[in-house]
Amino acid sequence: MPNTYTFTKDGAMLKKQDMPNKSDDPARRIPRDTQNAVLAMQSPKYRQWFSPQVNADALLEGLTNVCSQYELSVGLIDKFLLLKNRHLNFIIDNSVSMDATSDVLFEEAHSALRTNYSSLPMSKRKHLAQLGENELMMTRWGETENRLHIMIDFLAYIPTESITISLLNDQNGKFNVNDEKQTISADMRKSCTPEEFKKMAHNIISRIFQREPYGLTPLKQALHRAFKSDEHMMMHYVLTDGEPSDCSTKNLAELITTRGLLRSELHKISNKANRHPVNLISCTNEDLQYFKEIDKNALYVDETDDYIQEKREVLNAQGETIPFTKGLWILCQLVGALDKDLDNLDEKKELSLEFLSKLLGRNVTAADYDYYKMNHPNYLLSDRASARSVRTQSFFDQQPDTPRRSPHENNQQHTTCDKVTAYIIVFAFVLLTAAIAYNTDDDDDDYDDDNTCTIS
């Protein structure tokens, strides 16, 4: 019998066979938006995107299992639904610099990548670098492939339209003029189970990445072509390790910010950007500053660094209480351009109570939220400063007869006090000097009278 998921009034998620008293556990209570997402995944409209042989519980359990594998809170599964009905367009930088060594160990790679490479002799493992006897590192090219494999594990359960993967350069190292690409059609989901879909998609990705990186980084040409058509609702992913070779970073930033619109058409930018959101994904442990500038200034754009760098930025921005896992990192890359909560993770903006509940997978109490805010970097600049202000105000409130002064009057008062203090110090110094001189004269007289020494 399939498991039917329901919710109690306090937000506990139950399977049909669960005992009612389990709903009393506060840790099982999950946010309302997550409840709605779970129920949506059980609806006939959602299931029609998949094979008839796949029931709703299999979809939900499959997605929650992947979330568990990558330590992503089930409270965030509603974020994946932002990709529903969108065509996903992956633009992959295959320039020669992608052959540089990354900081990701081969042993951390996805099973699809490890299975392919483990059967090959070292001479044919093109996308690995030997650092020691037993330590293999992936190149940037291998790390990029690894990310796509992980993304597919999630996307197998999300009803997107087609998934397209294209390389910047053709086999001759020139810009991919003919727009050669591999497409994973939405119909594939309807003809097989999610597990079969993943297997086919992993094989397609593996074939694409058999090619060695070669050529330059013509990002402007690729993105100009991507923004040209408004036929579909898109989601673009740009995976690269550096700056464009066919324009300046300033020109590329302008292209992404305007989505190729003319000045006279910029009133349409909100709609255009919504049809063409862009996730800028760095495939290097080096900081791509121009990506960050685009993220700040453009609509529907999010920038994500490699895992180590992104985690450092998030913890610096939000405090050590945020569990930034690899699953959350992958989610940011997939939907960050469409979701301000995820986009703001690496910025020093306090998360809302609702989003923090999703992040932790349960309803956050007021005490929990206060703890988060007390550990937020902004607390040093806001709440503590406010607390000092309150204490200072309380002190002045005890002196109701003290008239309030303007800043100018306060400055005049401080200046007058400073002058008086200076006069007192100078006067005291003069008196002290005179006293010392007087005592010295008396001592000299005594010395001359009683201790005269004659040298002949």
DSSP string over 197-215: HHHHHHHHHHHHTTSPP-S
Q: Which region among 22-26, 41-45, 92-96 has the lowest average model confidence (pLDDT)? A: 22-26
- E strand or H helix that includes residue 292: helix 289-297
**Per-residue three-class SS string for 133-154:** CCCEEEEHHHHHHHHHHHHHHH
Q: What are the φ/ψ torsions at residue 235 (nearest 5 degrees)?
A: -145, 115
Q: What is the pTM of this model?
A: 0.78
How far is Cα 250 from Cα 247, in angstroms, rounded to an integer? Answer: 8
Single out the residue of 98, 178, 214 nearest to residue 145, CA to CA. Answer: 98
The pLDDT assigned to 19 comes to 34
Q: What is the mean pLDDT of residues 5-32?
A: 49
Q: Cβ of 11: how many Cβ atoms within 10 Å?
A: 18
Contact present, 239 and 144 (Cβ < 8 Å): yes
Confidence of residue 22 (pLDDT cuts 50, 70, 90): very low
CA distance 317 to 255: 29
Average pLDDT of the chain, as a whole number: 80
pLDDT higher than 70, residue 175 = yes
**3 state DSSP class of 165:** strand
The pLDDT, as a whole number, for residue 393 is: 38
Angle at which helices 289-297 and 249-258 cross, to 10°? 30
* Backbone dihedral angles phi then psi of residue 331, each to the nearest 5 degrees: -60, -40
Give the tokens for residue 5: 């998921």
Domain 84-375 indexed as CATH 3.30.2320.30: no
Q: What percentage of residues in the chain have a pLDDT greater than 90?
A: 52
- Answer yes or no: is pLDDT of 219 > 90: yes
C-alpha 377/C-alpha 372 separation (Å) is 10
Distance from C-alpha of 300 to C-alpha of 337, rounded to nearest angstrom: 5
- Position 411 pLDDT exceeds 60: no
Identify the residue with better confidence: 177 or 409: 177
Mean pLDDT of 406-412: 46
Cβ-proximal residues to 58 (8 Å cutoff; 6+ apart), any chain: 193, 194
pLDDT band at 426 (very low <50, low <70, confident <90, very high): low
For range 409-414, the mean pLDDT: 48
Average pLDDT over residues 26-34: 69
**Exposed e or buried b for every residue in 340-363, given b needs 16+ CB within 10 A?**
ebbbbbbeeebbebebbbbbbbbb
pLDDT at site 385:
52
Contact 71, 325 (CB under 8 A): yes
CA 325 remoteness from chain centre: 11
pLDDT at res. 446: 47
Between 330 and 178, the more confident residue is: 330
- Cβ pair 101, 129 in contact under 8 A: yes
Helix (H) or strand (E) holding 282: strand 278-282
